[in-house]
Chain A
Amino acid sequence: MKSQANERRIIFLHRQMPPITGQEPIDLVLTPQFYTMKRDDLPIRFAFQARKLAPSLLEEAGDPESLHFEVLREDEGWLYFAYRPDEVENFLKSKGINPQRISRLFFAQQFASVLQHPVLLSGSTQALTLVEDTVTILPASLLHEQPDRFAESLPLPNHSFSFPKGTSTGLLGRKESLWLILAAILLGGAWLIEGVYTANKAVEIQDNLSDLLEEHPALQSGLARRNILEKYRAIDTHQRKIRQKIHSIGSLVSKESKLKTLEVGNQGYRAIIEAPSSQRSTLKEMAKNADLDLTEHGAELQIKGAWQ
């Protein structure tokens, strides 16, 4: 037996127990109210063999599907336990205890060797006592020897069990977990299929691009393409500008307003138009609309500008 000092909180599960608060892990002891026990002296060597036999030995405990079985060696034989995990869970919940807090599980029968005197169950008038080597719950008032200490003071047995918690997965129940698994697999599968489809499409685009570049070997490099484009775009823009300006200047020329000179060079352009005074304001307006910089010098109108 281990000392209880520095151990987790120990809770003896019985029907009259009061609600318990807190979130820390607990060690749970099932009292006979929550399990069915049977002794058997069959010559069985290993626990797994005994566990296989448990459902048939504990048939009277109920539907084996809803039961959980445990076995424990006792002298020359075995102790067989059966309990309903969902019943324990529901009871724990009704007392404000989250089943996930259960760290270790014990059966009250495991305390038989240290139960020379009855012990009281906290929050109740009942006591845990030994009747013919079997731990039993009895009203304390019926006992010859009045218990003077609580069950929690008993030292814990060495051997513990795990609570199956088969009906829930912490935050989610089993059903919810299965739905979550299904949803995750479906969504993941859909994404995977979409990803593969997208990858194939990307390969297709890559192939088309490669074919296109193979048709134009000189344009395979992006840098080369941009350099060529820059060169031709500069020419295109500049030459369109020249033609636009020549056209605009040409539109100012008429029978009355005559072109005297026009010079177009690398830096800019200059034109002189001779126009009668009656025409000048109209020409000025036209020049302004055509974005030409026009200045008046006597009878001459000078237009000049630079290529930017």
Chain B
Amino acid sequence: MRTLRGIELAVLASILFMIIAGLYNYSQSRRLKQLGEEARITRQEIRDIQALKKLWDDRALPQKVQKLRSLLQSEQLESFTLKKRKLEMKAHNLSGRDLNRLMGKLGALPVQIRSLQIQRSGEHYRLECLCKW
């Protein structure tokens, strides 16, 4: 078998160098792509968590919930119990307008509505609501 000469060895070595450099470049590009994707997803997850937590885990919510009470007259409010991140509210003798106002406010508050019952008797409504956050 013919032995390799200097120039042939040089050609082989340079091609080998090119292949190794190409593989290195390819592996680094892949790593960069993966890391970029991972970083993008992580950032997005953190942003989403912060936004959702801000909405559904609002520390100032007890104060905001208190504003529901101010929408009603004291005689309309049967009970308004606020404890341990829970609100239990019963109200009666509500006009259609009161009910609309109350539901509008409740809907805008970032509380989790666990149960809601509205009953009409005559021209008035009775409302029972259990919320938590």
Q: Which residues of A are interface residues toward B (Cβ below 8 A)?
A: 100, 103, 165, 169-170, 172, 174, 177-178, 180-181, 184-185, 187-189, 191-192, 194-196, 198-199, 201-202, 205-206, 208-209, 212-213, 216, 219, 222, 225-226, 228-229, 232-233, 235-236, 238-239, 242-243, 246-247, 250, 258-266
How far, in angstroms, from A213 to B49 measured CA to CA in the complex? Answer: 13
**Could you tell me the distance in whole angstroms from the C-beta of B104 to the nearest C-beta in chain A?**
9
Choose one: B21, B100, B112, B125; the contact of A239 (CB below 8 Å). Answer: B112
A261 lies within 8 A of B118 (CB) = yes
**Could you tell me the distance in whole angstroms from the C-beta of A224 to the nearest C-beta in chain B?**
10
- Chain A residue with the shortest CB-CB distance to B119: A261
Given A188-B18, A191-B18: A225 touches B49 (CB 8 Å cut-off): yes
**Could you tell me the distance in whole angstroms from the C-beta of A267 to the nearest C-beta in chain B?**
10
B29 lies within 8 A of A198 (CB) = yes
A233 lies within 8 A of B14 (CB) = no
- Chain B residue with the shortest CB-CB distance to A168: B7
Chain B residues touching A, majority SS:
helix
**Could you tell me the distance in whole angstroms from the C-beta of B25 to the nearest C-beta in chain A?**
4
For A103, A165, A236, A266, the residue with the greatest tally of chain B CB atoms inside 10 Å of its CB is A236
For B20, B21, B43, the residue with the greatest tally of chain A CB atoms inside 10 Å of its CB is B21
Given A198-B32, A233-B52: A225 touches B46 (CB 8 Å cut-off): yes
Residues of chain A lying within 8 A (CB to CB) of residue B53:
228, 232
19 contacts between A and B (CB under 8 A): A181-B11, A184-B11, A185-B18, A187-B18, A187-B21, A188-B17, A188-B18, A199-B31, A202-B28, A208-B39, A209-B42, A212-B46, A225-B42, A229-B52, A232-B52, A238-B112, A243-B107, A246-B116, A250-B100
B52 lies within 8 A of A188 (CB) = no
Choose one: B7, B55, B103, B110; the contact of A169 (CB below 8 Å). Answer: B7
Cβ proximity bits B47-80 to A, threshold 8 Å, 1 near / 0 not:
0110011011100000000000000000000000
B48 lies within 8 A of A229 (CB) = yes
How far, in angstroms, from A23 to B114 measured CA to CA in the complex? Answer: 89
> What 18 additional pairs, Cβ within 8 angstroms, besides A202-B32, A232-B49?
A169-B5, A180-B11, A184-B15, A184-B17, A191-B24, A195-B21, A195-B28, A195-B29, A196-B28, A212-B42, A212-B43, A229-B49, A238-B112, A242-B113, A246-B107, A250-B100, A265-B114, A265-B115
Choose one: A100, A189, A205; the contact of B39 (CB below 8 Å). Answer: A205
- Chain B residue with the shortest CB-CB distance to A203: B35
**Could you tell me the distance in whole angstroms from the C-beta of B68 to the nearest C-beta in chain A?**
15
**Could you tell me the distance in whole angstroms from the C-beta of B53 to the nearest C-beta in chain A?**
7
How far, in angstroms, from A228 to B56 measured CA to CA in the complex? Answer: 12
Residues of chain B lying within 8 A (CB to CB) of residue A177:
7-8, 10-11
- Chain A residue with the shortest CB-CB distance to B43: A212
B113 lies within 8 A of A202 (CB) = no
Chain A CB within 8 A of B120 CB? yes
Given A192-B25, A233-B52, A260-B120: A205 touches B35 (CB 8 Å cut-off): yes
Residues of chain B lying within 8 A (CB to CB) of residue A201:
32
Residues of chain A lying within 8 A (CB to CB) of residue B27:
195
Residues of chain B lying within 8 A (CB to CB) of residue A262:
116-118
For A100, A191, A222, A247, the residue with the greatest tally of chain B CB atoms inside 10 Å of its CB is A191
Residues of chain A lying within 8 A (CB to CB) of residue B15:
180, 184
Residues of chain B lying within 8 A (CB to CB) of residue A206:
35
Choose one: B28, B39, B49; the contact of A219 (CB below 8 Å). Answer: B49
Residues of chain B lying within 8 A (CB to CB) of residue A261:
117-120
Residues of chain A lying within 8 A (CB to CB) of residue B118:
259, 261-263
**Could you tell me the distance in whole angstroms from the C-beta of B14 to the nearest C-beta in chain A?**
4
A195 lies within 8 A of B24 (CB) = yes
A205 lies within 8 A of B24 (CB) = no
B28 lies within 8 A of A199 (CB) = yes
How far, in angstroms, from A18 to B103 measured CA to CA in the complex? Answer: 108
Choose one: A172, A202, A239; the contact of B11 (CB below 8 Å). Answer: A172
